[in-house]
Structure 1
Amino acid sequence: MNGWKRWALALCVALAGCGAADLGTDQHGQTVTPESLQGQWLVINYWAEWCAPCRKEIPELNALPQRIDKVRVLGVNFDGLQGEALLRAAEGMGIDFTVLADNPAEHFGLEPSGVLPVTYLVDERGKVRARLLGEQTADGLVARLQALREGS
């Protein structure tokens, strides 16, 4: 997808006014719609059960929405687990946030990563603002999000 098409799709998602496609379902089988994400910054985190730093950062990601307004954490299982397996893995990891059953990489134009964990910060307009490799903390994410917001 070229830059113009990606930008247009991101704008449509942010505005939820052009019938942009849903992001699929979450670990509970509930549909994740563009409208449910409207006006929020997204923290999209890729994780796996076998990834020790992923396990360590989950509580930090769980705490993030209580620490900063208009932020939504979305998880993506790196191994592509679906259905009951995804739900069991998310529960086993202690994940409180939404875990997408489908990879949103194409939807948001995310760069592929062979390293875990990887976290993307996406602004309220659907633009990827940062790609963070390695374990993240709530303090670090709050500081980064605040800096990005002030710079926009």
Structure 2
Amino acid sequence: MGTRLQAVIRMVTGMSLGLLLAACGEDLGVDQSGRKVPAGRLEGQWLVINYWAEWCAPCRTEIPELNALDRQLGDWASVVGVNFDGLQGAQLSGAVQALGIEFTVLAQDPSARFGLPRPQVLPATFIVDDRGRLRERLVGEQTAAGLSERLAALQVEK
């Protein structure tokens, strides 16, 4: 009877852990408007993850390019922003509005999920493929055309 009870306890514990881990992957936190960002919305897409800050002049110049890129990409890829300074709530929303950011900005840094190193300089842009693998790290100001070319080249290299 003791062995059977232990087996049941192990099974229940394993199922509970599995459910807990599954729940962790359900969303990527909230965006600049406080809305949940479901992981399913971005899974299976190529991601252009851009780290920016209000005080970063090249970031300010780059944002219109990222807006244009995000509009061009369609359903197969998305631009996602991350504030380098970790702004949250109304501060994040205000910074996004002030800079004219149109793409999704995550309040929580997704670096652990995608294995991204902490940027040492800004702007920093990471390209993650549709399987969630880091494919490229770009430092400095990017253009929509340049990022489109890199995305196309990386898809061919797949």
Deviant stretches of 4+, over 2 Å: 65-69
1:128 aligns with 2:137: no
| From 104, 112, 120, the counterpart of 2:118 | 112
Which TM-score applies when normalising by structure 2? 0.82
**2:87/2:107 contact within 8 Å kept:** yes
Secondary structure at 1:60 match in 2? helix
Matching residue of 2:95: 89
Post-superposition offset of 1:107: 1.2
Partner Cα distance (2:95, 2:71) in 1:
23
- Which 5+ residue runs of structure 2 have no aligned equivalent? 1-21
The whole-number CA distance in structure 2 between the counterparts of 1:81 and 1:139 is 29
| Residues 35-71 of structure 1, C-alpha deviations (whole Å, 9 max, x = no match) | 1012211000000000000000000000113333411
Q: Unpaired runs of 5+ in structure 1?
A: 1-17
Question: Number of residues paired by the alignment?
Answer: 135
Find the residue that maps to 1:56 and give its secondary structure: helix
Please report the TM-score for the alignment, with normalisation by the length of structure 1. Answer: 0.85
**CA deviation string 1:94-145 (max 9, x = no partner):** 0000000011111111011120000000001100000000000001000000
Structure 1 residue 21, shift from structure 2 partner: 4.2
**Higher Cα radius of gyration:** 2
Q: Which amino acid aligns with 1:145?
A: L
* Distance in 2, Cα, partners of 1:95 & 1:128: 24
Match of 2:67 among 62, 69, 76: 62
Question: Which structure is higher in helix share?
Answer: 2
Q: Which residue of 1 aligns with 2:77?
A: 71
SS at match of 1:32: strand
For 1:149, the equivalent position in structure 2 comes to: 155
1:37-56 matches, within 5 Å, as 37-56=42-61
SS in 1 for 2:29: coil
Give the root-mean-square deviation of aligned CA atoms. Answer: 1.1
